[in-house]
Amino acid sequence: MKKMILLVLGGIAIIACNTPRQTTREALPSRNTLSEEQQRKYDYFFLEAYRLKTELDNAGAFDMLRHSLEINPQAAGANFEIAQFYLAMNQLPKVQESLEKAVQYNPDNYWFTQGLASFYRQQGAVDKATALLEEMTHRFPNRVEPLYTLLEIYNRTEAYSKSIATLNTLEEKTGKNEQISMEKLRVYLQMKDNKSAFREIEGLMAEYPLDMRYPVILGDLYLQNGKTQEAYTLYNKVLTEDPDNAQALYSLASYYEVTGQKEQYRQQLDTLLLNKKVASDVKLDVMRRFMVENNNDSVRVMNLFDRIMAQEPDDSRLPMFYARYLVSKNMNDKAIPVLKQVLDLEPANSAARITLLGEAIRQQDTTAIIRLCEGGVETNPDMPEFYFYLAIGYNQADRTDDALAICKKAVNGVSPDTKKEVISDFYTIMADAYHIKGMNTEAYIAYDSALVYNPANVGALNNYAYYLSLERKDLDKAEEMSYKTVKTEPNNATYLDTYAWILFEKGKYAEARIYIDNAIMNNTDKSDVIVEHCGDIYYMTGDPEGALKYWKEALELGSKSKTLKQKIEKKKYIPE
C-alpha cells in the first residue's frame, strides 16, 4: 500500500507518495525505453533521493533527483518530487513545468493530477484548475474529491447550473443525504428557483418522514415567499406531533409577526421562551434574534430576560448573555447584580469576573477589587490579571506584605507564554512594596529585574530614578533612566518632576527649572510634591519670591513635608 504524505512547502499543499522500490520502473513511451543499466542507475538515484529526504538532507535529495531526471526526463515520480523542492525555492514556473510533466507521463496517478490541480488553484489559474478537475471526474470516476473541489469553484464563480449538476452527480455516487440536499437548496435559492428549492425539501421530507426539521424548513421557505397559509399548516402539523419543537414554535411566532398578529406573536414567544422543555441554548439563539429585531426596545428585551431567568435560576448562560446585553447598552448598574448572579452559579466564569473587576477598577473600589481577584486567583490560577490587580489592591489597602506575597507567587508560577511586560510589572509592584517597607536594597534589585524583562517600563524607570535621587546616590544612572521616561511621555507631570528633581540634586538648577515649569504646566492633579519641588528649584535659581509662592501653595494642597513650614518662615530652601 502506498503511504500518502501531505507536504506543505511555501504555503501550498501537495500530496506526495512514498513509492516502494518495485514501483520505480515506470511505464514509459516506447520511444524512451531505458536500457537495463539506465534503469538501474535511475532506480539508485531516485531511491537515494528518498533516503536523503528522510534524513532532512534536502540539498542532497535535490541533487539526486536532478541526476534521476538526466537519466530519464520522462520519469513522472522524479518530476513530481522535484516540483516540491522548486516550490520551496519559490521557483513557481519550474514547479508548474515539473507537475505538468508528472501528469503527462503518468496520467493514471490520481495524486499527481490532484497536486497539479491544487497548484493551479493556489496560483489563481482557476480555468486550468477547473478544466483539469473536470477531466479528473472522468479519469477517476470512483473519486468524489474532485467533485467537491469543483463544487467550491462553481459556487465561488456563481456557475450555479454547474453546481447543481455536480451535486446531482455526487448524489448519484453517494446516495441522497441531508448535506447534499441542503446544499442544493442553498444553490436553488441563490438561483431564485424557488420551485426547485421546495422540491428539494419535499424530497428530504419523503426520505426522512420522522424528522420534523424538514417540514419546518419548508414552512420557512413558504413564509419567505408569501405562502403564509401553507407555512401555517406545516408549523401546526409539526406542533401537533411534537408540541415542544423549538424550531416550529419560533417559526410560528415569525408567522404571527409577518401576518401582523402582534399579540399572538408575543404569546408565542412566551410559549417558547418560558417552556422548561426547550433547551437553554435554543432560548439563547431565539433571544439573539429577538434582541436584533427589538434593538430599540430595551425594556421589552429586559422584561423577557427577567422572566426567563426567574424560571431557570440555576442556568448561568442566560444571565451571562443578559449581562453582556446590558453592558452593550451602557447599563452597567443593571449588569452588576446579574454578573454577581453568574459568579454565584459559576465561580470559575472568568468573563463575568473580569467584567466585574473592570467596573470595580472604574469605581476605585479597593475592597471589591481584592474580593474579586482573590476569588480569581483561586478559580482561575492561570490568569495573571487577577494576581496583578490583587497586588495593586493590596498596596492600596496598605497590605504591603500581602502584595509582596502575591507578586512572588505570580512570578514563580508564570507560564512560558506569559508576556515579559507582565512579569516586569509584577517586579515593579514588588519593588514599590519593598520601598514602602524601607527595604531599599531589595527594592533596587526588584527594579533591576523589572527592567531586564522590559527595559521600556516607564513606571519602573521613574520610581527607581526618583528613589535614587531621594538617597542622593547613583544620580547619573537616575538621570539616564528618568530621561527615558520624559522622552517617552513628554507631558507626564510626574516624570517631568522626577527628572527636574534629579537635575536639582546634581546642581543643574537652570535645566531643572525648564523641566519643573513643564511639570507645573501639566500638573492637572495638583500634586503638592511637584509644587514644593518647583519652589525649591525657583529658590536655587535666584527667585525667592516665586519660591515662596509655590511653597505656600504646596502647604494649601496638604503637603506633609517636614521642612515646608520652615522654608516659608525663613523664606529660604532647607533640605530634608
323-353 pLDDT tens trace: 888 888 889 889 999 999 999 999 999 999 9
pLDDT at 575 over 90: no
* pLDDT beyond 70 at 455: yes
What confidence score (pLDDT) does residue 24 get?
38
- Which regions of 394-547 does DSSP assign to beta strands (E)? none
- CATH number, domain with residue 79: 1.25.40.10
DSSP 276: T
Residue 9, helix vs strand vs coil:
strand
- The amino acid occupying position 238 is V
* Mean pLDDT value of segment 267-294: 81
pLDDT at 203: 87
pTM of the complete model: 0.59
**Which band of pLDDT confidence, cut at 50, 70 and 90, is reported for residue 19?**
very low
Query: Which ranges constitute the DSSP H helices of 259-349?
Result: 262-273, 280-293, 298-311, 317-328, 332-345
Distance CA 197, CA 289 (A): 24
Report yes or no on 298 lying in a domain.
Answer: no
Q: pLDDT digits over 395-437, tens only?
A: 999 999 999 999 999 998 878 888 999 999 999 999 999 999 9
Q: What is the mean pLDDT of residues 499-514?
A: 96
Q: Is the pLDDT of residue 177 over 80?
A: yes
Categorize the per-residue pLDDT at 438 as very low, low, confident or very high, splitting at 50, 70 and 90.
very high
- Per-residue pLDDT at 525: 86
Which pLDDT score, from 0 to 100, does residue 207 have? 85
State the helix-helix crossing angle for 145-156 and 126-139, rounded to 10 degrees. 150
In a domain, 569, yes or no: no
- For the segment 303-324, what is each residue's pLDDT rounded down to a tens digit? 888 888 877 777 788 888 888 8
- 76 in a structural domain: yes
Position 75 scores a pLDDT of 93
pLDDT at 13 (0 to 100):
38
Q: What Rg, from alpha-carbon coordinates, does the chain have?
A: 38
**Domain with 24 in it:** 1-139
Rounded to the nearest integer, the mean pLDDT of the chain is 88
> Residue 123 falls within a domain, yes or no?
yes
pLDDT for 90 equals: 93
Give me the pLDDT at residue 414, please: 79
pLDDT above 70 for 246: yes
**Domain-embedded: residue 519:** no
Dist CA 358 CA 364 (whole Å): 10
Give a yes or no: residue 243 inside a domain: no
Look at residue 280 and tell me whether its pLDDT is greater than 90: no
Residue 195 domain flag: no
In a domain, 576, yes or no: no
Sequence-distant (6+) residues with CB within 8 A of 266 are none
Confidence of residue 32 (pLDDT cuts 50, 70, 90): low
CA distance 15 to 116: 10
Question: Looking at the 3D structure of the chain, how many domains does it have?
Answer: 1
Q: How confident is the model over 107-117, as pLDDT tens digits? A: 999 999 999 99
Report the distance separating Cα 478 and Cα 389, nearest Å: 28
CA distance linking residue 308 with residue 296, whole number of Å? 20
Mean pLDDT of 377-394: 94
Q: Nearest-CA neighbor of 102 among 126, 119, 122, 127? A: 119
Name the residue with higher pLDDT: 348 or 288. 348
- Label residue 239 by pLDDT band (50, 70, 90): very high
Query: Considering only CA atoms, which of 561, 563, 538, 558 is closest in space to residue 548?
Result: 538
Retrieve residue 342's grid coordinates.
453568574
Tens digits of per-residue pLDDT, 255-279?
998 999 988 988 888 888 888 888 8
Specify the 3-state DSSP secondary structure of 322. helix
